[in-house]
Amino acid sequence: MTAFINNIYYSMVFIADQKYNKNPYLMEKFLTVGKLVATFGPVAYILNLIHFWFSNNKEFVSGFLVIVFLNAFVGLMKHYKTNTFNWMTFLKKTSLMLMVVIVVYILLSIVGRFAGDSFVSEAFQILVQVMTLFYPASKALKSIFVLSNEDYPPKWIMKKVYNFEEDGDLGDLFKTTKNEAENFNQNQHENNSNNPE
């Protein structure tokens, strides 16, 4: 790697040096410029793609970072509560989760790009983003569920979380039946009557 960087540096110095502007060195300068363009062209193209993607997905990236941070914080609290905390395990599991989520997101996004511009490809991209956000978010919800002694989030929401992890049905995840809403309202009413403030 050092030899590669040195080669690029000396090539740039060679091009910038005015004493080599004479005829015998002119062809060599053109070849050196071509080599530098071939070296930096793909890098500039990739950086431009990353910038374009980031500018179009700022909300997604921000949400992802917030969810990952909250997951780490709530996970720390859960493991302190259960006396199972270990720094090395925490760092390994968090790094593995980040790597897995990012790699799967990239792979599925690439696959989705080849589906063309249609309703199905747009729905697939949305599903990929929701799934990417949902993995660390579901881990945080499970940790909160443990911290609250399985009181909150409500069990019906946790059931939806587990079902989404199994079948990936977005409609079922965000759909609330009348029965679920009534049970939630009844539980809230019971909790308020048992804990007057």
**Residue 133 is part of which domain span?**
58-194
Q: How many CA atoms lie within 13 A of 5 on its CB side?
A: 2
Does a structural domain hold residue 177?
yes
| Nearest to 40, CA basis, from 75, 7, 82, 79 | 7
Q: Quick one: 67 and 21 in the same domain? A: no
Q: Quick one: 176 and 126 in the same domain? A: yes
Give pLDDT, residue 166.
81
Give tens-digit pLDDT for 121-180. 888 888 888 888 888 998 899 899 889 988 888 888 888 888 877 876 766 766 766 666
Q: Quick one: 97 and 124 in the same domain? A: yes
> Cα(76)–Cα(80) distance, rounded to whole angstroms?
6
What b/e string do you get for 49-61 counting C-beta neighbours within 10 Å, with b at 16 or more? eeeeeeeeeeebe
SS3 call for 57: coil
Which comes out higher in pLDDT, residue 21 or 9?
9
Joined together, the tokens standing for residue 157 give: 């929401």
**DSSP conformation class of 22:** S
81-85, 117-121, 150-154: which has the highest mean pLDDT?
81-85
Give pLDDT, residue 185.
58
> Cα(69)–Cα(51) distance, rounded to whole angstroms?
23
Give pLDDT, residue 73.
93
Give tens-digit pLDDT for 60-80. 889 999 999 999 999 999 988
What's the whole-number mean pLDDT along residues 29-45? Answer: 77
Q: What is the domain count for the chain?
A: 2
